[in-house]
Amino acid sequence: MSSMILNLLISVMAAATPLILAAAGELVVEKSGVLNLGIEGMMLVGAIAAFSVAYTTGNLPLALVAAVVAGVLMALIFAFLSLTMQANQTATGLALTIFGRGFSALVGAGFVGISAPTLPPIYIPGLSTLPVLGPLLFNYDPLIYVAFVLLGAIAWFLNHTRWGLVVRAVGDAQDAAHAIGYKVIPIRYYATMFGGATAGLAGAYMSLSYSPLWAQDMTAGRGWVALALVVFAAWRPFWVLIGAWFFGALMYLSLWVQGVGIPVPSSLVAAMPYLGTVIVLVFISRDRRRIRLHRPAMLGRSFRQTV
């Protein structure tokens, strides 16, 4: 029983990592007042960028850099259309996801069924060999640790730094922030690029660690779950972590049900994490006071820079 629980916790940690990475970046994006629905597309482009570079060069650090660059470039497309050209953010984000799915499928067509080098776990002498705590805390690949450090850094940045306050001000009162001299559009550009970078890393984790083979649409809707996770967390970093573990447990549960042979239709099993996401959001949406208290007031609203 203890080994079963240990395996469950390790699997949940792995399943939650891409959600933490993607949601952490989107949290900063939304705190600046921008709603980017293109996380799924950015994750897929980051995944194929990392996989193709890892397969062709065998250089895993370079593959991670490629994923970050790919995610940032995708975010810049979104930022140019929605922030500079004032296109509707919702429509632009959906278009970005459609483009990302198509582009990753096109580039990845030659890699289907092929494996690439995977991120090895970090071995920490004296800690990785500890009973129970060793495999539970000190035997993961680098991106799992990066996800935790990144989320902590974001919490510190937003709550304890001047520029974190500026980002929040731009998201809550864009006209007031502009009136006192802050450049709203550039700040939102930087926030959007950061969200693209973390989405690219989340995609890299999927193709270099979570799955040993390239498959089309391998993110399987995790970008949408990450979007829901930001709302679930009420735009607070600590609750992003709790929510990621919760949704990660739902995803692992669907795989566990299939593995033990419980007679449940496979389509229903595959839909379990997303049904759980919808149910959770329905309950959260009933608490309008909680949403109004934490939701950035300018979320999704355009801003035209004036002199």
DSSP 228-289: HHHHHTTT-HHHHHHHHHHHHHHHHHHHHHHHTT----HHHHHHHHHHHHHHHHHHHHT-HH
Q: Is the pTM of this model over 0.85?
A: yes
In degrees rounded to 5, what are phi and psi of residue 129?
Answer: -95, 0
Q: What pLDDT does residue 234 have?
A: 86
Asked whether residue 303 is domain-assigned, the answer is: no
Range of the domain at 71: 2-120+127-294
Give me the pLDDT at residue 264, please: 67
The count of domains in the chain is 1
Query: How many Cβ atoms are within 10 Å of 175's Cβ, its own excluded?
Result: 10
Residue 177 maps to which CATH number?
Answer: 1.10.3470
Asked if residue 307 belongs to a domain, the reply is: no
In a domain, 299, yes or no: no
- According to the model, what pLDDT value does residue 249 have? 84
Q: In terms of C-beta density within 10 A (0-12 exposed, 13-18 middle, 19 or more buried), how is residue 157 classed?
A: middle
In a domain, 245, yes or no: yes
What pLDDT does 69 receive? 98
Q: Is 210 exposed, middle or buried (0-12, 13-18, 19+ CB in 10 A)?
A: buried
Over the stretch 31-69, which tens digit does the pLDDT of each residue have?
Answer: 999 999 999 999 999 999 999 999 999 999 999 999 999
Of 250, 191, 194, the C-alpha closest to 222 is 250
Contacts of range 91-98, beta carbons closer than 8 Å, 24 or more positions apart: 92/38, 93/35, 93/36, 93/37, 93/38, 94/37, 94/38, 95/38, 96/36, 96/37, 96/38, 96/41, 96/42, 97/37, 97/38, 97/39, 97/40, 97/41, 97/223, 98/41
73 within a domain of the structure (yes/no)? yes
Whether residue 278 lies inside any domain: the answer is: yes
CA separation for the pair 22, 214 (Å, rounded): 19
In a domain, 233, yes or no: yes
Each residue's pLDDT tens digit in the chain (307 positions)?
467 777 778 888 988 999 999 999 999 999 999 999 999 999 999 999 999 999 999 999 999 999 999 999 999 999 999 999 999 999 999 999 999 999 999 999 989 888 888 898 888 877 777 777 777 788 888 999 999 999 999 999 999 999 999 999 999 999 999 999 899 999 999 999 999 999 999 999 999 998 878 888 999 889 999 998 998 888 999 999 998 998 888 877 766 666 666 666 766 766 777 777 778 777 776 766 666 677 898 998 888 765 5
Q: How far apart are CA 119 and CA 307, in angstroms?
A: 49
Q: Provide the pLDDT for residue 89.
A: 95
Say how far apart CA 175 and CA 33 lie, in whole Å: 12
* Any domain includes 302: no
pLDDT at 306: 59
pLDDT of residue 1: 44
Predicted local distance difference test score (pLDDT) of residue 240? 93
pLDDT score, position 197: 97
